[in-house]
Structure 1
Amino acid sequence: MGIEKRKDDHIYIASSEISQVGSAWFEEVVLIHNALPEMDISDVELSTRFLGASVKAPFGIGAMTGGTELAGKINAELAKAAEEFGIPIYVGSQRVALVKREVRWTFEVVKQNAPSVPKVANLGAPQLAELSEKELEAWVVEAVDMIDAYAIAVHLNAAQEVVQPEGEPNFRGVLEKLKIVKKAAGKPLIVKETGTGISKEVAARLSGIADAIDIGGFGGTSFVAIEGARAGESSLQRRLAETFRLWGIPTAASICEVRSAYAGYIIASGGIRSGLDGAKALAMGAHFFTMSQPLLKAALEGRLRGEIEAVIAELRTAMFLTGARTVRDLSLVPRVYGPRLRNWIEQRRLSC
């Protein structure tokens, strides 16, 4: 099956309910209401910094797509919205454009339509493992130049690769290759998961290598479910997808995992479905959050700007109702955890 067909399959399935699995556990996090916030809602200041760059909100457009005509149109709309709202934007995996130059435009539209906001390039860990040092350096430079990237992300997607009919579950030597990526890019390095979360053990191994960890926790879009839907009905991949459908670390728990072992910049993603979810992630210790599936669906339905406006309004409201004047103040907001999350924190001996 061609890579273009696979990319379009991902778009359509990811935008459907088939792809949505489990809970990110944000219902386990209650921010304590402040009945006397001593400010007007207009006093809430959302502007912050994304890995050193000034942005208008602690919220960005997560990694989604590229490589097909439909993906190019979506990326152009996402980029226009990112520029309008002054927020960062990731692109989807750029491998397809590195091996097929004729589809580079589907990523280049991002730098054309979002010239001033931070843009994040994106490569996959399995491809890193396959390339020589010289080949990898060339890929990194090309990926960064393609979108005029401010940072580069390497996505970890072991569960997806195992289930994907065309998968390449090869992760040998990735940690060392990350060092090559960082040096070749000369930009901040983000290491991100794609829906199964990052543990404190992995976070510790990334200390000193990654400038940021993007949680990519369980409880939203499941690439295991997506690849299972693409696999043949009686195939081994379909069986594996069913068996591992609920595999992963819920996003709220993964924030605690990473925070307990990593002192760098933390980006929350995975099952964040509102500005309130984002506020909870920031209160728990993340510095930033991204959303993907709700924005993909909104872009396909022609209501992207309205969705982003709603997320920002929800975040502003959550800050006002907790008395948080700034994004930094959110980390001081008192909160209560439900039994599942509290039990996880205790068993894993996490600080959160």
Structure 2
Amino acid sequence: MIENRKDDHIRIASEQNVEEGNNLFNEVYLIHIALPEIDFDDVDTSMTIFGKKLSFPFIIGAMTGGTEIAEKINAILAKCAEEFGIGMYVGSQRVAIVKPETARSFRVVAENAPTALKIANLGAPQVSRLNERVLSDWVSQAIDMINADAIAIHLNPAQEVFQPEGEPWFRGVTDRLRFIKKIANRPLIIKEVGNGISMEVARTLVSRVGPDAIDVAGTGGTSFIRIESIRARAINEANIFSGWGIPTVLSICEVRNVYDGFIIASGGVRSGLDGAKAIAIGANAFSMSRPLLLSALKGYDETKKFIDNLFREFKATMFLTGSKNISELSRAPVVLGQDIISWLGQRGITCRRVGA
């Protein structure tokens, strides 16, 4: 059952070590500005995406839905999104469409975050098998379920290959993405789930789909290869493919090299400092999931504390780089480590800045 799988994901992600790979944020160095010529209170961390103003460029990552525990988690996360003025993805909504009795676990997001940026979420393999009439209905249901401001379609070939019930169906996905872009009447985000997006995939998306944002979701954070291999009791496969994919920092650079649109950095982002580094090398916003899952399982107060610390870390980094606003942070001086330089050189990539 889909619901059992959702609870498996929560249990394994919260109880076991499922983070793998190096996101390479340790090789991104922001230059300390000893004379910032601004007061800490002068720092403006806010930004606007899809017509919604965020207090800082953070979006709670896609996690869960479809079960009783997922409903509690989503309610807590939504309350925090509303209070802090940040964004929030929901987990894949397929479960609520095929089993309407589970939709309550998603609707709590709209109830608890009426004004926050909310992002609906469907999986690429599933939409690839739907005709246009049914697909249009699914998209409408997903958006209406949470009163979404945007819709994300997640690309997860590695997860589907290793999932016991996996559906590695990707033939025709690009055409379906183009159709969703046409009919959704909402911004379209294309995202990975932890293995990164390459320059080649980004180029295809730009030329054939025209997404409004790309969420790179690179390696260095939660590994769904590991999670699904644990569920399948096939740990050897997980060991062989440990770290498979594109590190988050490199995926940001790969995508920015061919895409001038909005980039969301996720995949092992674990602090406000990581988020600021992501923006300094080409992203526009950042996201994380597992740390919020762990906090939400402890309750609202713990989740609120985590986000508050995250905000302060991000604002402190802006201040220490002399960045009065997000635009200035995107132009802050950086130094890159040798692994990053080697990869970019072999790939013929210049790590461009936003709008450069």
Amino acid at match of 1:221: T
Aligned to 2:219: 218
Does structure 1 conserve the Cα–Cα contact (< 8 Å) formed by 2:22 and 2:243?
no
Give the Cα separation in 2 of the matches to 1:109 and 1:79.
Answer: 8
Structure 1 residue 56: deviation in Å?
A: 1.2
Taking the TM superposition and a 5 Å limit, the aligned residue runs for 1:185-224 are 185-207=184-206, 208-224=209-225
Q: Distance in 1 between matches of 2:278 and 2:168?
A: 30
Q: Distance in 2 between matches of 1:54 and 1:212?
A: 16
- AA paired with 2:348? R
Q: Letter of the aligned partner of 1:214 in structure 2?
A: D
Residues 131-158 of structure 1, C-alpha deviations (whole Å, 9 max, x = no match): 1111100000000000000000000000
Question: Is 2:64–2:90's contact at 8 Å kept on the other side of the alignment?
Answer: yes
Q: Deviations over 1:73-106 (max 9, x none)?
A: 0000000000000011100000000000000000
2:167 counterpart residue number: 168
Aligned to 1:127: 126
Q: For 1:115 and 1:71, how far apart are their aligned partners in 2?
A: 19
What is the TM-score normalised by the length of structure 1?
0.97
Give the CA deviation at 1:241: 2.4
Matches within 5 A, 1:62-211: 62-207=61-206, 208-211=209-212
Question: What displacement does 1:283 show?
Answer: 0.3
Listed as ranges, the gaps of 5+ residues in structure 2 are 352-356
Of 146-155 and 325-334, deviating more is 325-334
- Counterpart among 249, 252, 255 of residue 258 in structure 1: 255
Runs of 4+ in 1 over 6 A off after TM superposition: none
Partner of 1:296: 293
Residue 141 of structure 1 contacts residue 184 of structure 1 at CA under 8 Å; is this kept in 2? no
Shift of residue 17, structure 1, vs aligned partner: 4.2
Judge which range, 341-350 or 14-23, deviates more. 14-23
Q: Alignment length, in residue pairs?
A: 347
Q: Distance in 1 between matches of 2:52 and 2:308?
A: 21
How far 1:3 sits from its partner (Å)?
A: 1.1
What letter corresponds to residue 326 of structure 1 in structure 2?
N
Secondary structure of the residue that 2:278 maps to in structure 1? helix
Secondary structure of 2:121's counterpart equals strand
How far the C-alpha of 1:238 sits from its partner, in A, is 4.0
- Residue identity in the other structure for 2:154: H
CA contact (8 A) 1:268 1:289 kept: yes
Q: Distance in 1 between matches of 2:15 and 2:337?
A: 29
Which deviations, in whole Å up to 9, do the C-alpha atoms of 1:203-232 show, x marking residues without a partner? Answer: 011115211100010000000000011113
Q: What do the CA deviations read for 1:173-208 (whole angstroms, capped 9, x no partner)?
A: 000000111222110000000000000000011115
Q: Which piece of structure 1 moves more, 5-14 or 85-94?
A: 5-14
State the distance in 1 between where 2:140 and 2:118 align: 14
Partner of 2:354: none
Work out the CA distance in 1 between the residues paired with 2:16 and 2:257. 33
The residue aligned with 1:32 is 31
For 1:346, the equivalent position in structure 2 comes to 345
CA distance in 2, matches of 1:36, 1:160: 47
Q: 1:17–1:34: structure 2 CA closer, same or farther, 3 Å change rule? A: farther
In 2, Cα distance between the equivalents of 1:98 and 1:238?
32
Q: Could you say what secondary structure the match of 2:258 adopts?
A: coil
Task: Give the partner amino acid of 1:83.
Answer: E
TM-score by length of 2: 0.96
Distance in 1 (alpha carbons) for counterparts of 2:134 and 2:237: 33
Deviation at 1:16, TM superposition (A): 3.5
Aligned to 1:337: 336
CA distance in 2: counterparts of 1:135 and 1:241, whole angstroms: 35
Q: Does 2:232 match 1:231?
A: yes
1:189 counterpart letter in structure 2: L
Aligned partners of 1:283 and 1:66: how far apart in 2? Answer: 33
